[in-house]
Chain A
Amino acid sequence: MLELKEVDVFYGDAQALWEISFQVEKGEIVTLLGSNGAGKTTTLRTISGILLSRKGTIHFNGTRIDHLPPYEIVLKGVAHVPEGRRLFPNMTVFETLIIGAYIPQAWERRVETLQWVFSLFPILEERKHQLAGTLSGGEQQMLTIGRGLMAQPKFLMLDEPSLGLAPIIVEKIFTTIQDINRHGVTVLLIEQNANIALQIAHRGYVLETGRISLTGVASELLKNDHVKKAYLGLYEGVE
């Protein structure tokens, strides 16, 4: 479904990604692991068109999408749920979700999609008339995911959905990500929290200083010594 081939990305003169290649198949949950600054967010921002690659290609369902503007990539069925819950602070929960269905094909069916999002995150229905900026961290994360789903994407990219949230909320959100995936949405999940990401993912890639250093099915990565030491250990240490 998504295929990156030898993608190089620069911030000015500084190279951030070196020959990144990976693919995500239809129906999968794939996770991209790595510590802060490894290039995870840069990778997502390049796929969604906010950053431009200098070399390499990105294909989505057979069509080349690198160098398309972000709003055209969304039309192809790619939704990017950005890190840090980038919400519209002065819009209500309801308005935020409705405008999430901005693209024409999603706008037609916004009422049905809204029902689905409310069934995934019932709290959002309760908070319908509240301003997005006044929600708790967990609710804001749910709303950001919900807004992404309103575009009825075939492919959903999530940037650190666990960031700064209590473990019980993280668990709820990750269970919902599995539900979304079962509903037919392919997922690319970026996480520092390797432990929980590998529990729901089918496969994973490890990103280190802008390069893919390791890849494998999730259960193998969980057992891998390097992953254990570098990511799982660190996580447990923080706990």
Chain B
Amino acid sequence: MSLKLVLDQILNGFVLGSMYALFASGLTLIWGTMKMLNFAHGEYYMLGGYVVYFALTLFGFPPLLSILIGVAGVFLVGLATERLIIHPLLDKPGWEVSPIVATLGVSIFLQNFALKAWGERYKNVPYFIEGTLDVFGLRIAYQRLLVLIIAIIVIYAFWLFIKKTRFGMALRATAQDREAAMLIGINFHRVYMITFGISSALAALSAAMLAPIFLINPWMGLPSLLKAFVVAVLGGLGSVEGAILAGIVLGLAESFAVIIFSSEWKDIFSFAILILVLTTRPSGFFGTKEW
């Protein structure tokens, strides 16, 4: 195993991990705020991939604009899902299971919609930027660097938004005590809707960034969703910091699994880590909590 290979895989680990972090942050955000699991999260990821693909290939928009369209479009789909499907279930008996059933329904619908509308053939998204950077004998594709840089910027902006802005604080207040939040004038229906939108937008962004590396297809959401559950649970459901840390850890672990064993072992590795961590720390790195 050469040093070059190790460095290469560390970088890959960070690239993949940063996308896991983005994607799982959305899942954990919804759990932290609304105490529900969104089984359609993977389909927002899938939709994000398709929108970017069409924006790039069909309309010939530049990459940055295509990503923006993808993220904004899926943000709106997220808002609509909350208002039309989750909102009517809120505070009704059966809230423990009803969102699971409902979002599973959304997931099945979106998958089949994608299949019907866009076909079963896998779509190949071109790299946003060509070329490689050569440092210390390593050849790093600009595309991968771009993924990493955007992930860092977005994660930092997201963290600032949650911690410092008026709406971010209102979101945390609602997560921690909804009734007390209402008593200071916070409209939790609005908070929930926007939370759903942000969560979907994060899924779409990770898909947009990974689209040139993987392929777009109607079923791409499910494996990502499983991975996002691993990351979110590993970090502690509801903890955004946990999801970010766990995303990176998992990304690195998978990359090393690829060198030591082979790429088929990647998932076995990540689920083994999950089982191992849960037996010692049942509530993940940061513990299940409201942030």
| A contacts, CB < 8 Å to B | 48, 50, 69-71, 74-75, 79-80, 82, 86-91, 95, 98-100, 102-103, 107, 147-148, 150-151
Q: How far is the CB of B273 from chain A (nearest CB, A)?
A: 27
| Contact of A48 with B183 in the complex, beta carbons under 8 Å | yes
Q: Is the CB of B184 within 8 A of A100?
A: yes
Q: Which residues of A contact B181 (CB under 8 A)?
A: 88
Say yes or no: B173 contacts A99, CB within 8 Å.
yes
Which residues of chain B have C-beta atoms less than 8 A from A48's C-beta? 183
A70-B169 in contact (CB<8A): no
CA of A88 to CA of B289, assembled, Å: 12
Contact A99 B169 (CB under 8 A): yes
Please give me the residue from chain B that is nearest to A84 by CB atom: B180
A50 and B182 contacting across the interface, CB-CB below 8 Å: yes
Q: Are A91 and B185 in contact (CB under 8 A)?
A: no
> Which residues of A lie under 8 Å from residue B173 when comparing CB positions?
88, 91, 99, 102
A95 CB, min distance to chain B CBs, angstroms: 6
- Residues of B near A91 (CB, < 8 A) are 169, 172-173, 176
Contact of A88 among B177, B187, B188 (CB under 8 A): B177
Decide: B183 and A74 in contact? CB cutoff 8 A: yes
Q: A103's closest neighbor in chain B, by CB? A: B185
Q: Is the interface of B mostly helix, strand, loop or mixed?
A: helix
How many angstroms between the C-alpha atoms of A74 and B181 in the bound complex? 11
Complex A-B: 14 CB contacts under 8 Å? A70-B183, A71-B187, A74-B185, A75-B185, A86-B180, A86-B183, A89-B176, A90-B172, A90-B289, A90-B291, A91-B172, A95-B169, A102-B184, A151-B185
Nearest A residue to B290 via CB reads: A90
A126 to B177, CA, bound (A): 24
The answer to whether A102 and B166 touch (CB under 8 A), given A50-B182, A151-B184, is yes
Interface presence of B222 (CB below 8 A): no
* CA distance in complex: A89, B181 (Å): 12
Q: Does the CB pair B179–A147 fall under 8 Å?
A: no
Assembly CA distance A234 to B100 (angstroms): 51
Q: Flag if A82 contacts B184 (CB, 8 Å).
A: no
Q: Which residues of A contact B179 (CB under 8 A)?
A: 50, 82, 86
B182 touches A70 (CB 8 A): yes
Q: Which A residues are in CB contact (< 8 Å) with B291?
A: 90
Counting chain A CB atoms within 10 Å of each CB, which of B170, B179, B184, B188 scores highest? B184
CB distance from B72 to the nearest CB of A (A): 25
Q: Which of B258-291 contact A (CB under 8 A)?
A: 289-291
CB pair A82 B170 closer than 8 Å: no
Known interface pairs A98-B169, A99-B170; A90-B176 also in contact (CB < 8 Å): yes
A31 to B290, CA, bound (A): 35
Q: In the assembled complex, how far is the CB of residue A111 from the closest CB belonging to chain B, in whole angstroms?
A: 13
Q: B169 to A87, Cβ gap below 8 A? A: no
Partner of B172, one of A75, A80, A88, A107: A88
Q: Report chain A residues within 8 Å CB of B185.
A: 71, 74-75, 102-103, 151
* Residues of B contacting A100 in the complex (Cβ-Cβ under 8 angstroms): 184
List 16 additional A-B contacts (Cβ < 8 Å) besides A98-B169, A148-B183.
Answer: A48-B183, A50-B179, A50-B182, A70-B182, A71-B185, A79-B184, A82-B179, A82-B183, A86-B179, A86-B180, A88-B172, A88-B173, A91-B169, A99-B166, A99-B169, A103-B185
Residues on B with C-beta less than 8 A from A71 are: 182, 185-188
Q: Which of B79-109 contact A (CB under 8 A)?
A: none
Bound-complex Cα distance A41 to B172 (A): 26
| Alpha-carbon gap, A48 to B182, bound state (A) | 9
Considering only CB atoms, which chain B residue lies closest to A85 in the complex? B180
Q: How far is the CA of A103 from the CA of B185 in the complex (A)?
A: 6
Write out the residue numbers on chain A whose beta carbons fall within 8 Å of the beta carbon of B187.
Answer: 69, 71
Query: Which chain B residues numbered 182 to 202 have a C-beta less than 8 Å away from chain A?
Result: 182-188
